Amino acid sequence: MSNLTYLEAIREAIQEVMQKDENIFLIGEDIGLYGGSFGLTSGLFAEFGAERVRDTPISESVIIGTAVGSAITGMRPILEIMFSDFTGCGMDQIMNQAAKIRYMFGGKAKVPMVLRTATGGGAGFGPHHSQSLEAIFAHIPGLKVVMPSCPYDAKGLFISAVYDNNPVIFLEHKVLYKSKKYAQEVPKGIYTIPLGKGEIKRPGKDISIVATSYMVQKSLEAAEILQKDKQIDCEIIDLRTIKPLDIDIVLESVKKTGKLICVEEACSFGGFMGEVVAQVMEKGFDYLDAPAIRIASSNNPVPYSHILEEEMIPSVDKIKDRILSVLSKN
């Protein structure tokens, strides 16, 4: 076991799968000698060489298209897009090629590729480098979408993604990357966490909080404050992957608590948590004692100003206040 940050856990996952399987290679901008824009691929070029850690031109469509082509011909590419905002430059390759090939060839062609990219705000990177676009990817049939919240999950989910025979969008929150606050003991060696299985991070009986990525950590902090100050017992569910979605773990929790809050960092309009709320309403309406609500960012581009960015994104205090608001209506 090693105490690893989120970034270190993902790097270790990449290193270990590459040591085990020579068909796995990395491709992306500045991932070689430079070590990636966040330093995540640092050291991998020295270990595996230019053949398996491939620097590319500044062209997302080339990176993603190359990965798709190599995947369907027997390789298992891991591609890095520096920021999720830049995936728009290669969206044809994602939504019209990678996502559809296995279906259109009747399963005879597989696309085992992982597109890993930094997502989310809170780091002062401005509107072109801070978006949360998971709902776009989740809307496209054929893609799997992973959003880990902690180092242990990040490694296990990443290894599962690499060995999946479908294209996986692996969204890594940039605020979590180097945070010592959220570092964890992570086992050495290969281990997997199934895609499509959520986890209860904190058992509780008063209200169900469903979250993803960094919002899981903020929800856990809010829950601890409420437990200490108000003796309110929140159950925190980490979806871990949003496609496939583990709706059963949500329904079982709501059946117990009768109340549901869904927390996401993406803009509220058209956000993925609207899907979670809709499925709970369709499949578990009778479990609810109060309306299910969402906590999300406001509907505007992410500001560069730190003060404005913090105002836009859900905070621990905002989550705590909405929990109290829902419980006060009981």
Nearest to 149 by CA among 247, 244, 298, 265: 265
Contacts of 118 (CB under 8 A, 6+ apart): 37, 38, 82, 83, 84, 172, 173, 174, 177
Secondary structure of residue 1 in the 3-state scheme = coil
> Are β-strands 293-297 and 260-267 bridged in parallel, bridged antiparallel, or unpaired?
parallel
CA atoms in the 13 A half-sphere facing the CB of 67? 37
- Count, residues in the chain: 330
User: Which of the following is catalytic: 128, 129, 173, 306?
Assistant: 129
Is pTM, for the whole model, over 0.95? yes
Mean pLDDT of 27-45: 96
Mean pLDDT of 211-229: 98
Tell me, what amino acid is at 94?
I
Contacts of 100 (CB under 8 A, 6+ apart): 141, 142
How does residue 330 score in pLDDT terms, banded at 50, 70 and 90?
low
Q: Is 129 an active-site residue?
A: yes
Tens digit of each residue's pLDDT (9 = 90 or more) over 44-84: 999 999 999 999 999 999 999 999 999 999 999 999 999 99
Domain boundaries, the chain: 2-186, 199-328
Tens digit of each residue's pLDDT (9 = 90 or more) over 281-300: 999 999 999 999 999 999 99
What's residue 275's pLDDT?
98
Mean pLDDT of 118-137: 96
- Domain covering 2-186, topology: Rossmann fold (3.40.50)
Q: Does domain 199-328 have CATH number 3.40.50.920?
A: yes
